[in-house]
Amino acid sequence: MSARQDTDMASVDMEKRAHADHHASLRLWLRLLSATTRIEDTIRQRLREQFGITLPRFDLMAQLEREPQGLSMSELSRRMMVTGGNVTSIVDQLEKEQLVQRQMQASDRRSYTVSLTEAGRSAFAAMAQAHEGWVVELLSPLVASQQEQLHKLLGTLKSGSPTNSEETK
Amino acid sequence: MSARQDTDMASVDMEKRAHADHHASLRLWLRLLSATTRIEDTIRQRLREQFGITLPRFDLMAQLEREPQGLSMSELSRRMMVTGGNVTSIVDQLEKEQLVQRQMQASDRRSYTVSLTEAGRSAFAAMAQAHEGWVVELLSPLVASQQEQLHKLLGTLKSGSPTNSEETK
DNA sequence: TATTGTTATACTCTATAACTATA
DNA sequence: TATAGTTATAGAGTATAACAATA
């Protein structure tokens, strides 16, 4: 067998392997998407039914709960990765229900600080507890060691595709 | 050490363990959600920029591509897990762009068969190829064996939480 | 000029419900 | 009556862009 032939065969094998891997990646992605969507939809539905709240509103409250001193609108916008107008609308709704409050900033009169009210804090505590229970329930098909494994694998993915072969800009 | 004490200590340990596990589950869920959302948003954005198509439209075409003989509106509705009116609207748009076609059913005049047109098939082929490349790229931080592992773990999750301890109805 | 936040608008996706035609 | 599909409507979530107030 010549080196030439070896190279040809190897390249054919690599091509086959690449195709198989591509299909495996696609199957993995579809499974990742459907598993996540199923859980997310369940949580969304239960939040609506049991607490009359939507996921973005819950998420905004969760951001505020982690920052007792409050956050500016622009910081909320950045953390929730949505544009400013949307944050205004969510905060408007939550403020109407007296779950959050806007407070003037002495230092910069353009800017507000948004924080949970006392009612908001206790409402969020109840929701967060239920939410955690649902998550535990929905992930329960995996035992603790499997969950740990999954957590690690997803951590590798989280970083944002560092082996990106596309143009950077 | 009495049996009584053993029981107490064990139950305290179990409680601690349960709390730790709950927080681990929550962290896992947040990581699962953010990883999936990041990939989904990237794909959604590229589909829009490069092909002027939305994810639901792409998904509908993907369903049809797998069934060359076509699908009824109600079957599409079932598979895409959205209500009928939405399928009508998506099919309307795709039909206007001549990517899919409605064909009368001889057997039941209430029902249509929707299938890809020739243009739809070739347009979808181009999109699907790009899509697969993006998925491969976005999952590339994980090597093949890790992807396989992830696929298995998600398979356990996929079934729909069989250890569901909540009321069934 | 740049930044913070609001307002106005538009679009997609979704669900519900009333409707038409056919079975 | 029940089913297949359409239409109308409403609401959530999102983005863009114009705007006012302040820096």
Spatial separation of the C-alpha atoms in residues B40 and B129, rounded to whole Å: 16
How far does B130 lie from chain A, in Å, by closest CA?
A: 12
Spatial separation of the C-alpha atoms in residues A146 and A12, rounded to whole Å: 36
pLDDT of residue B105: 86
The pLDDT of B59-69, averaged and rounded, is: 96
Of the pLDDT bands very low, low, confident and very high (cuts 50, 70, 90), residue A130 is: very high
* Better-predicted residue by pLDDT, B22 or A59: A59
Of the pLDDT bands very low, low, confident and very high (cuts 50, 70, 90), residue B3 is: very low
* Better-predicted residue by pLDDT, A16 or A149: A149
How far does A67 lie from chain B, in Å, by closest CA?
A: 18
How far does A155 lie from chain B, in Å, by closest CA?
A: 7
pLDDT of residue A163: 37
The pLDDT of A94-113, averaged and rounded, is: 93
Of the pLDDT bands very low, low, confident and very high (cuts 50, 70, 90), residue B166 is: very low
Residues with CB under 7 A from strand D: A 54-57, 81-86, 89-90, 108-110; B 72-75, 77, 84-85, 87-89, 91-92, 102, 108, 110-112
Spatial separation of the C-alpha atoms in residues B93 and B113, rounded to whole Å: 16
> Nearest by CB to B150, which of A22, A28, A40?
A28
Interface size between A and B, measured as CB pairs under 8 A: 142
Query: How do strand A112-116 and strand B112-116 relate by DSSP bridges?
Result: unpaired
Q: CATH topology for A53-117?
A: Arc Repressor Mutant, subunit A (1.10.10)
The pLDDT of B113-122, averaged and rounded, is: 97
pLDDT of residue A158: 75
* Better-predicted residue by pLDDT, A117 or A8: A117
Is residue B162 scored above 50 in pLDDT? no
pLDDT of residue A19: 82
Q: What is the pTM of this model?
A: 0.85
How confident is the model over A70-90, as pLDDT tens digits?
999 999 999 999 999 999 999
HEC readout, chain A: CCHHHHHHHHHHHHHHHHHHHHHHHHHHHHHHHHHHHHHHHHHHHHHHHHHCCCHHHHHHHHHHHHCCCCECHHHHHHHHCCCHHHHHHHHHHHHHCCCEEEEECCCCCCCEEEEECHHHHHHHHHHHHHHHHHHHHHHCCCCHHHHHHHHHHHHHHHCCCCCCCCCCC
Q: Give B159's contacts in chain A (Cβ within 8 Å).
A: 141
Nucleotides of C under 7 A from a protein CB: 3-9, 12-17, 21-23
Of the pLDDT bands very low, low, confident and very high (cuts 50, 70, 90), residue B1 is: very low
How confident is the model over A25-50, as pLDDT tens digits?
999 999 999 999 999 999 999 999 99
pLDDT of residue A169: 28
Are A137 and B26 an interchain contact pair (Cβ–Cβ within 8 Å)? Answer: no
Are B36 and A36 an interchain contact pair (Cβ–Cβ within 8 Å)? Answer: yes
